[in-house]
């Protein structure tokens, strides 16, 4: 437990130093949510600060709202997994805000610097975001509703079909192996399954928490079962975790064994787990 606290504190300090202006705060939490930060995880609390690259998972029936000082806000519905980043942030020239699965509602503030808002999910980017948008991502489908805003959907599939612009009120359905379908209004099943909290426009609450010092309680060591959805995500997102969790994989035997057992799902870990399979130049010399 002591090592978890140290890891959590050090990581928080490193991230905050470079991104204090964009620190996010949990302003509403109904239900339970877990935050993964480096090699630790902890339960979310109202008022707790979240940092760039935090991984957030909501439980069934949970509603979580995150706000920034510039009045950008992010809402997560139930059973949602998100890698946090301000919508104007980039990672390797790609959106830093990444929705792995679940429900997301996003309110985009206008950037003083002119930076464009964007987010990503499996096989797609959404760029040129403005206003309020709602996104639902499942294993096979993306549904995007430009509720009170605009967006441009960009296909990143191997056989990309280009991009589609959504204007206010329009609804896009797409996914692996599916041609994008733009509609003038959201589909009935999308509306009927919309999280109840997403139906309202909520006031900004950032100032209520900005002066509070809410500390995460009882951080614990990262469990493989919690990391697994990210380790097995699409290659463009999962490669970062080879660096982040490399030391854990070498020191935590249970974590290492789980990685090794499922190696075909994340082959980039092979060099970490089996360096003997590579020569001094990094060429694979053993492939059995």
Q: Which residues contact 267 (CB under 8 A, 6 or more apart)?
A: none
Evaluate if residue 17 carries a pLDDT over 70: no
pTM of the model: 0.90
Confidence bin at 168 (pLDDT 50/70/90): very high
Confidence bin at 176 (pLDDT 50/70/90): confident
Q: What topology is assigned to 2-209 in CATH?
A: Jelly Rolls (2.60.120)
**Sequence spans of domains, the chain:** 2-209, 224-277
Confidence bin at 158 (pLDDT 50/70/90): low
11 φ/ψ angles, rounded to the nearest 5 degrees: -65, -40
Q: How many Cβ atoms sit within 10 Å of the Cβ of residue 40? A: 21
Would you list the DSSP string of 181-248?
EEESS--HHHHHHS-GGGGSPPPP-HHHHTT--B---S-EEPPHHHHHHHHTS-HHHHTHHHHHTHHH
Of 91, 149, 142, the C-alpha closest to 121 is: 142
pLDDT in tens, 215-256: 998 999 999 999 999 999 999 899 999 999 999 999 999 999
């Amino acid at each position: 437990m002591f090592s978890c606290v140290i890891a959590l504190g050090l990581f928080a300090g490193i991230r905050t130093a470079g991104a204090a202006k964009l620190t996010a705060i949990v302003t509403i939490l109904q239900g339970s949510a877990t935050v993964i930060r480096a090699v630790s995880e902890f339960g979310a609390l109202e008022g707790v600060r979240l940092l760039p690259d935090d991984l957030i998972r909501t439980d069934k029936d949970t509603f979580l709202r995150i706000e920034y000082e510039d009045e950008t806000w992010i809402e997560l519905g139930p059973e949602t997994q998100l890698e946090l980043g301000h919508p104007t942030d980039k990672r390797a020239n790609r959106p830093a805000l990444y929705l792995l699965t679940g429900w997301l509602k996003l309110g985009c503030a206008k950037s003083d610097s002119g930076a464009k808002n964007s987010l990503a999910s499996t096989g797609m980017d959404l760029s040129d975001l403005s206003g309020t948008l709602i996104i639902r991502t499942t294993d096979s489908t993306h549904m995007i509703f430009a509720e009170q805003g605009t967006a441009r959907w960009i296909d990143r599939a191997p056989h990309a079909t280009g991009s589609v612009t959504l204007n206010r009120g329009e609804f896009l359905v797409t996914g692996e192996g599916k041609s994008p379908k733009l509609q003038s209004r959201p589909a009935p099943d999308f509306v009927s399954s919309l999280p109840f909290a997403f139906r309202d426009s909520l006031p900004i609450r950032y100032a209520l928490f900005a002066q509070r010092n809410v500390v995460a309680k009882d951080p614990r060591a990262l469990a493989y079962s919690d990391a697994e959805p990210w380790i097995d995500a699409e290659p463009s997102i999962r490669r970062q975790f080879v660096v982040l969790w490399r030391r854990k994989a070498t020191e935590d035997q249970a974590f290492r064994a789980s990685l090794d057992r499922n190696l075909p799902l994340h082959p980039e870990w092979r060099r970490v787990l089996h360096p003997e399979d590579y020569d001094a130049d990094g060429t694979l010399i053993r492939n059995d």
